[in-house]
Chain A
Amino acid sequence: MTSLLQQYASAQAQARPDATAVVMNAERVSYGELEASSNRLARFLKQVGCRRGDRVGLFLPKTPAAIAAMLGVLKADCIYVPIDVTSPAARIERVLRVAEPRLLLAAGTAAALIDDLVARAADGRLPPVASVETGPIPGRRFESPYSSADWAHESAEPLPWANSAGDPAHLLFTSGSTGTPKGVVITHSNVSHFVEWARGYFGLGASDRISGHPPLYFDLSTFDVYGTLSAGAQLHMVPPAANLLPHELAAFIRRSELTQWFSVPSVLTYLAKFDAVAFDDYPALKRVLWCGDVLPTATLIHWMERLPHATFTNLYGPTETTIASSYYTVPRRPTGPGDVVPIGVPCAGEELLVLDADLRPVRPGDAGHLYIAGVGLSPGYWGDEERTAAAFLPDPRAPESQGRIYRTGDLARVGDDGLVYYLGRVDSQVKSRGYRIELGEVETAVNALPGLRECAVVGLSTGGFEGTAICCAYALRADAERAPAQLRQELARSLPTYMLPSRWMSIDELPKNANGKVDRNRLRELFGEGPA
C-alpha cells in the first residue's frame, strides 16, 4: 500500500510516463509531465523556505496545473489548502487566518481576489505569492515575487521526503456555525485508505475515464484525483462552461466517454429534470456515484431506467471522515419514489455506530446519533482544539485506547437488513446543491448588515434539485429601506454565492415562541405557504 499520496502519480510515471493522466478541454497532461512538473515545484518550494508541515494556499481554479501543484506541495512535505477563488475576500481572509500559509500559489485569474485580500489585511501584507503562470501576476496592490519560470529549470528528478502516512496532506475548509470556517486536517493515510478500498470495490483500472466535477476545495474531488492516479486512469475535468447547460454537461459525458461519474445528487437531478439523459445514453459509463446529500429516489429511478448498463452507488460520509465512510450499491431499480435508499454499510476499516445521548448503542432498529470510527477519521480541525474536542470523542467502548469516534450530527438507524439509514440532522446544518452550510454562518452574516432590526435564516426542504432552499426573514429598522436584491448584494461581500438565501421575506416582527426565541417551525411554514 502506498503511504504517501504523491507516490500514486510517481509509480504511474515510472511505469507509463506517456499515459494521459489529466484532461481538460484541449489540454492533456501525461503522468510523466505531472511527475516532472510537481518535482520541479517541490524543489522550488523548499528553496524559498517552505518547511515540512508548512501550509501552501492554492488560489487555483480546477485545472491540470492545480493537480501538479497539489502533488508538488506534498512532495515538499507541505500541506496544501485549496481555496475557493469564487468566494468573497472576507471569507477567504477568515480561512487564511486559520491556515496561516507560508506561501500562496496563484493563477492569474485570482489577481483581483488577492488585491481585495491585501486591502483587507491590517498591515497590508499577505504571504508571498508565487504565480503558476509563466510570468508574475499583475496585481494592483501586490507583487508576485515568483512565477513558474523560477522552477521551470529545476531538476525534474524525484527528491527525498520526510513525511509519513500519518502526516497531514491537506486542509479542507467547511462552514462553521459561528461564522468561522473549520479547517479539517486530512492525512495521507486518511485518503489512501479510502482510495485503496474504492479501487478494489469499484475495480478501478488504467482504462477508466473518471469525471472531475466537484471543485478541488470540496472533499469529493479527493477521490476523483487520487482514485484516478492510483489506478493510472484518466481524470476528465468538467470545464465550468459545460456546467450550466444540462445538455452541454451531457455532451461532455458522452464526448469524454466517461466510465465513472461522481457528483453531488443535485447534478444528477438537474440532468434528469432537463431530460439530458437519453435511453442507453453514455454507453461507456459503468458507474454512477453520488455523495454529499440525499438523492431523490425519483431521480435514481429515472437514471436507472435510462442507463440499464450502469451501476449506481450511494456514498455517505462527512469531510471529517474523508470522502466517504459507507456505501450502498443499489441492487435493483426502486419500485417507487417513496422508497428509501440506505447509506449502506461501512467501507473497509470504518465503523458506523448509532448511539444514544449517553453514547450507548441504541436498541436494534431505533433511531440515534450517528458516529463514525476508523481509518478515515481526521486528526481534527486545524488550530482549534475546542471544536475538535467537541466533535471527536474518545471511543466509549475502549476509553483507555487512543480510539476516537466522530460525531456526525446526523440521525440514523440500522434496519433489519443490517443497512444504515439516514434520518436527518440534529442541528441547523443543511445541504444546498451538495454544499454543506451551517445556517448559523449565514445568519451571522445577515445580522452584520446595516438597517436590519432582526433576522432569521431557515432551511426549507423543497423536494427538488437544490436539496434545501435557504430562506431569510428580516425586519427592517423604521428608517431603513432595503429590497432583497440590495441585501443579497451586500451579503455577497461576505458569503460565497451558494450560501446566499434564495428566498427573502420582509416581516414586521419575527414569530417567537413562549420563551421569546424565534419560532423557526412557524417561519418555515410561512415560507412554505408563500409564493415560490
Chain B
Amino acid sequence: MSSPTPPSAPAPDAADVADVVERLRALFLDELHLELPSADTDLLATGLLDSLAFVELMLQLESRFGVVVRLDEIDLEQFRTVRSIARTVAASGRADAPRAGSPPLSGTRLDDGATDHRAAGGEEAA
C-alpha cells in the first residue's frame, strides 16, 4: 500500500496538480490556519495534520473540490504532503459531483442534524 494514487485512477496532469497545490495551500492557510513552508512539507512527521485538521481537510475537499475521499481505499502516504494530496485530488478528476459509493461525511449515520460538521471525529494525540 504505497502507491501515491488509487490504482484505478488515471495519472494526473502536471498542470492540474500544480493548480491544486496552490488551492490546497490557500485552503490550509484560510481554514486550518496552517502556513506551510512548502508543498513538500511532511504533514505527518511534523504533526501538522492531526485528527482535527484531517476532518476539516476532508470537508474542504468535498466542498471546494467536489471530491469525496474513499477512506477505506486510501493510505496514509497520500496525505503526507500537500503535493501528494494534490495528486490524489487531481487524479480523482475533480468531478463536480462526488464519486458514487463514497460515504460522505455529511451523510453518516451519526449526523442527527444538531452536529456541526467541524465536530466529526478524532483521537488522542495522532
Give min CB distance, A179 to chain B, whole Å.
Answer: 21
Which listed residue, B35, B118, B125, touches A464 by the CB 8 Å rule?
B118
A244-B44, A497-B47 are contacts. A272–B124 as well, Cβ < 8 Å? Answer: no
Chain A residues 457-489 with CB under 8 Å of chain B are 462-466, 469, 483-489
Given the known A-B contacts A266-B123, A302-B109, A532-B116, are A244 and B34 also in contact in the complex, defined by CB atoms under 8 Å? no
Residues in A with CB closer than 8 Å to B51 are: 243-244, 266, 270, 433, 465-466
Chain A hits for B7, CB < 8 A: none
Shortest A449–chain B CB gap in Å is 14
CB-based contact B110/A302 at 8 Å:
yes
Are the C-beta atoms of B119 and A244 separated by less than 8 Å?
Answer: no
**Known contacts A274-B71, A463-B115, A497-B47; is-contact A502 B125 (Cβ 8 Å):** no
Residue A145 at the chain B interface, CB threshold 8 Å: no
Which B74-126 residues have C-beta < 8 A from chain A? 74-76, 79, 103, 105, 108-110, 112, 114-126
Q: Contact: A273 with B108, CB < 8 Å? A: yes
Q: Using a CB-CB cutoff of 8 Å, which residues 195-248 of chain A contact chain B?
A: 213-215, 218, 240-241, 243-248
Q: How far is the CA of A269 from the CA of B110 in the complex (A)?
A: 9
Residue of A nearest to B107 (CB): A275
Report which of B29, B75, B79, B124 forms a contact with A433, defined as CB distance below 8 A: B124
Residues A337 and B112 in contact, CB atoms below 8 Å apart = yes
Is A86 interfacial (CB 8 A cutoff)? yes
Q: How far is the CA of A337 from the CA of B109 in the complex (A)?
A: 12
Q: Could you tell me how many residues of chain B have their Cβ less than 8 Å away from some Cβ of chain A?
A: 37
B121 touches A465 (CB 8 A): yes
Give bound CA distance, A247 to B58, whole Å: 14
Determine if A214 and B29 form an interchain contact, defined as CB atoms under 8 angstroms apart.
no
* A131 interface residue (CB < 8 Å to B): no
Measured CB to CB, the nearest residue on chain B to A485 is B35
A275 and B103: CB pair below 8 A?
Answer: yes
Q: Which residues of A contact B116 (CB under 8 A)?
A: 462-464, 532
Q: Which of A263, A276, A465, A485 contacts B34 (CB 8 A)?
A: A485
Q: Among the listed B79, B110, B114, B124, which residue makes an inter-chain contact with A213, where contact means beta carbons less than 8 Å apart?
A: B124
Is B121's CB under 8 angstroms from A263's CB?
no
Which chain B residues border A264 with CB–CB below 8 Å? 123-124
Does B52 reach chain A (CB closer than 8 Å)? yes
| Least distance between B117 CB and chain A CB atoms (Å) | 7
Docked complex Cα distance between A249 and B71 (Å): 12
- A321 to B78 alpha-carbon distance, docked (Å): 42
Contact B121 A245 (CB under 8 A): no
**Set of chain B residues within 8 Å of A249, measured between Cβ atoms:** 123
A373 an interface residue at 8 Å Cβ cutoff?
Answer: no
Interface string of B54-82 (1 = CB under 8 A from A): 11000000000000000110111001000
Q: Are B124 and A214 in contact (CB under 8 A)?
A: yes
Shortest A264–chain B CB gap in Å is 5
Distance A434 CA – B125 CA, assembled complex (angstroms): 9
| Cβ-defined contact, B33 with A485, below 8 A | yes
Chain B nearest CB: distance from A14 CB in Å?
A: 34
Which of A246-271 touch B at CB < 8 Å? 246-249, 263-264, 266-267, 269-271
Asked if B114 contacts A269 (CB within 8 A), the reply is no
Partner of B123, one of A86, A267, A275, A298: A267
A435 within 8 A of B: yes
CA of A377 to CA of B119, assembled, Å: 34
Measured CB to CB, the nearest residue on chain B to A240 is B126
Interface residue A504 (Cβ < 8 Å from any Cβ of B): yes
Known: A240-B126, A463-B114. A273 touches B120 (CB 8 A): yes
Nearest CB of chain B from residue A511's CB, rounded to whole Å: 22
Q: Check B49–A298 contact: CB distance below 8 A.
A: no
Assess A245 versus B74: contact at CB under 8 Å? Given A264-B124, A267-B122: yes
Task: Tell me the complex Cα distance, A80–B105, Å.
Answer: 42
Chain B residues proximal to chain A, CB less than 8 Å = 29, 33-35, 44, 47, 49-52, 54-55, 71-72, 74-76, 79, 103, 105, 108-110, 112, 114-126
Report 12 cross-chain contacts, Cβ distance below 8 Å, ordered by A residue: A214-B124, A244-B50, A244-B76, A264-B124, A269-B121, A273-B105, A274-B121, A276-B71, A463-B115, A465-B121, A466-B119, A485-B33
Starting from the known contacts A466-B52, A497-B50, A532-B117, 14 additional A-B residue pairs (CB-CB under 8 Å) come to A214-B124, A263-B123, A263-B124, A272-B109, A273-B110, A273-B120, A273-B121, A274-B103, A274-B120, A299-B110, A464-B118, A485-B34, A498-B50, A532-B118
| Ranked 9 nearest A-B pairs via Cβ | A464-B119, A270-B121, A273-B121, A462-B119, A485-B35, A266-B122, A267-B123, A484-B33, A465-B121
